[in-house]
Amino acid sequence: MVLGRTDKGVYALGQVANFKIESEKLPIEKFSVALNSKLKNSIRIKSSEVVDDNFHSRYSVHSKTYRYVINNSEFGSAIFREFEYNFPIKLDVEKMKEAIKYFVGEHDFKGFKASGTSSKNSVRTIYDGKVYQDGDRINIELTGNGFLYNMVRIISGTLLDVGIRKD
């Protein structure tokens, strides 16, 4: 089985996995039911389908999108505490929107990876970057051809610094 990877503590939506089987006893549309019966409740298979033999869930991907959510309210959320970062100081979202534009394009993101990262090449292409507010939540979205370990978290921290007007 091959699986697209993500950092520990990152919650993935729309993750794709692939594996090869030699048996055709189980119809493809029943695979998700069979797999879900064996998986933890925190993992769900929504669908299954036959793909070309050349498809690889990690190397065939054209882009990935990460969303980092900052709850910009005084107390945060008890329900979503595992999925967002609470920062109670009001942020300047307009400044953050301006700053994210500097990350778009092909750049060497060496300064935006965690120490000890095994990637030898730190050049990545960011196709799109957005900062938008939904009530008390500030969403940071980056779409690119790949990301270094903790890259989105570090970029989000940098944008947070911009939002509190750190120079």
CA distance 36 to 49: 15
Contact 3, 58 (CB under 8 A): yes
Helical spans, DSSP H, in the chain: 31-36, 93-100, 151-163
List 7, 52, 53, 167, catalytic entry: 7
Give the neighbor-by-neighbor strand order of the sheet with 105-108: 85-86, 64-71, 137-144, 123-134, 105-108
- Amino acid 136 reads D
Annotated catalytic residue 92? no
Contacts of 11 (CB under 8 A, 6+ apart): 82, 83
Give whole-number Cα distances, 92 to 75, 110, 129, 159, 161, in Å.
18, 27, 17, 10, 10
Contact 107, 26 (CB under 8 A): no
Active site residues: 7
